[in-house]
Amino acid sequence: MDLNSVTRSTGLEEHGITNANIIYWTPPTTVLYEQVVKRGEGLISHQGPLTVKTGHYTGRAANEKFIVDEPSCRDKINWGTINRPFDEDRFEALYRRLTSYLQGKDLFVQDCYAGASRSHRIPVRIITEKAWHSLFARNMFIQATREELENHKTQFTVIDIPSFHAVPSIDGTNSEAFIIIHFAKRLVIIGGTSYAGEIKKSIFTVMNYLLPSQKKVLSMHCSANAGPDGDTAIFFGLSGTGKTTLSAAPNRRLIGDDEHGWDDGGIFNFEGGCYAKVINLSPVSEPEIYDCTRRFGTILENVAIDTLTRRIDLNDASFTENTRASYPLTHIPNIIGAGTGDHPNNVIMLTCDAFGVLPPIARLTPEQAMYHFLSGYTAKVAGTEAGVTEPKATFSTCFGAPFMALHPSVYAELLKEKIGTHQSHCWLVNTGWSGGGPGVGSRMKIAYSRALVNAALDGTLAAGQFELDPVFGLSIPKSCPGVSQDVLNPRNSWADKAAYDEVSRNLVARFRKNFEQFSNYVSPDVAKVM
C-alpha cells in the first residue's frame, strides 16, 4: 500500500482539531510498525512482537475517570465513587486546550467498530498521537472493510493524547491524567497516561451505557467460547481470575476474551482482539496465548526485553505485575470468526479466592447466581498491590464495576431474565487457593480448573452427585475426572479445620456486609442466599 493513501492533512475538523500535520488514516499494521520504530515508541522483539513501555501508569487510572454531568445522562448514571461527575463547562475548557495542543502534530486515526452484531455495533473513531496506541486500537476493535470505511459514520470518538496533561487546580481533575466521557457529545478524551487499556475500557463503558438503556441488551465483562456442537459458555471474572486462560481452550472455539453482549439472538463479542495478562505465562498450561507473544502484530506492554538479543522475559515483573499482550483474535488458531454464539448453555463466574475457602467449583441456583453476580467477589494477594500485606477481599459488582455506568440492578435483572428464559446452568469456579491462603495452601492447578470447567460444560458434573457446603450453602460435586477428591471440598483440603471454619465465617460476613447495598433491589430469596 502506498503510504500516501493512508495519510492526509485534513479531515478532523468536525472534532475541533485543526492544523494537524500528518494524519494517518486507518493505517495497516505494517505502516504502524514502521512509525513505532521511526518515532522510538518501542522495539521489535525476537519473532516479531512490538515491546512498549507505558510509563508511570502501568494499569488503569481508576481515580482519574469521569463522566460529564449533563442532561442526557444525568438521571441514568449510577453516580458515586466509580462514576464521578465532571462539570460540563470545565470539560469544554479542557477540550479546547486539548485540541489547540494538537495543532502541528502528527495524528493516527482508526475507524473501526465496537460490537460484532450488525444490529448493535457502534462505529467508533480512535484518534491517537502514538502509533502503537493506534495499533492497539486496530488489534482490539473490529476492523472495517474497505467498503465499510467509505461509509463509516462515527458514532463515538476517543481522542487519546498521553503527552497532554491536565492541571488539576484549573481543570478540576484529580491529577494530570484524565479519562472523561461525554455521552451527549459522544466523545471520550484521554490524557496524561500511556496505558492503552484506557482506550478499550472507555468504549466498554460506552457500550455498558448504551446497550442496556437503549436496546435492553445485556452487556457483560466476560469471555466466551463454544464447543464442537455449538454449545456456548460465558465466563465472568475480574482481572487475574482466568477469563482469558480458561476460554482459550484447545477443545473449544474462542468467541472473545473480555467483553460481550447478550441479545435475543445470542451473544456477540464487542472486540476484535484479546488483551491478556502475560506475567509468568506458561507454554504448557497456556499454549495458545503463549504463542501469541511470539507473533508479528502483537503488542507486549511493559514486558522485559534484552535490548541486545531482543528476546523477551515473560517472568520478569520489574516494570509491573500487570504485563499485557494485545493481539488480534486471528492470532488464536481456534476461533469463531463472526464473533457470535448461541444463547449460553453455561454461565461460569470466576473468582480467585486468596483465602482458600471457596470450592474449586460449585453449582449455583438462579438465586445464588444473582447473588454472586451482584457481589462480583475476588481477593487480591499480598505483594501484588502497594499496601496489601495479606489476602484482601474485593467486591466488584457485575464482575466489572469500574465499567458499569448504570445501576447494577439494571444488569442483574437482564441477566436474571436471560438465564431464566434460556435455562442456562450456572457455576462458581475458584481459580485461587486451596488448603489455605498464600504461604499455607497452594494455587489451584490450571489443569484442575480446566478439568472442572470441561466437566461442567460437557454435562459430567450435572449428572453426578453433589454435597451441600454448610457455610456458603453451595452444591459441591463429589467427584470429577482428573481432579483429586481432596480438592473438591475446601474444608477437606485444610490441615487445620478450625482455621478453615474461622476464615470461611469471616468471608461470609464480608459477603453479607457488601450485599446490604443491594437488599432493596432483589427478592428476599436472593438477599438471604448467604
Give the catalytic positions in this structure.
Answer: 60, 201, 221, 239, 243-244, 258, 324
Residues 6 or more apart whose CB falls under 8 angstroms from that of 87 comprise 68, 69, 172
Helix (H) or strand (E) run with residue 428 in it:
strand 425-430
Give the CA count within 13 Å in the CB-facing half-sphere of 339.
Answer: 28
CA distances from 398 to 255, 350, 372, 377 (A): 20, 11, 8, 9
Closest CA to 375 of 402, 398, 404: 398
Residues 6 or more apart whose CB falls under 8 angstroms from that of 407 comprise 78, 521
CA dihedral of residues 206, 209, 215, 219 (deg, nearest 10): 80
Residues 6 or more apart whose CB falls under 8 angstroms from that of 7 comprise 22, 23, 24, 25
By DSSP bridging, strand 344-351 and strand 425-430 are parallel
Find residue 253's DSSP bridge partners. 226
DSSP 443-499: EPPHHHHHHHHHHHHTTTTTTS-EEE-TTT--EEES--TTS-HHHHSGGGG-S-HHH
Distance between CA atoms of 299 and 51, rounded to whole angstroms?
6
Measure CA 327 to chain center: 14
Nearest-5° Cα angle at 256, 253 to 257? 110
Helix (H) or strand (E) run with residue 226 in it:
strand 218-226
| Exposure class string for 342-377: b at 16+ Cβ within 10 A, else e | ebbbbbbbbbbbbbbbbbbbbbbebbbbbbbbbbbb
Residues 6 or more apart whose CB falls under 8 angstroms from that of 131 comprise 24, 32, 35, 36, 39, 41, 108
Residues written for the chain: 530
CA distances from 474 to 51, 363, 466, 493, 511 (A): 44, 7, 9, 17, 14
Find residue 305's DSSP bridge partners. 312
Residues 6 or more apart whose CB falls under 8 angstroms from that of 524 comprise none
404, three cell numbers: 458499569
Name the phi and psi angles at 57, rounded to 5. -95, 110
Distance between CA atoms of 491 and 370, rounded to whole angstroms?
25
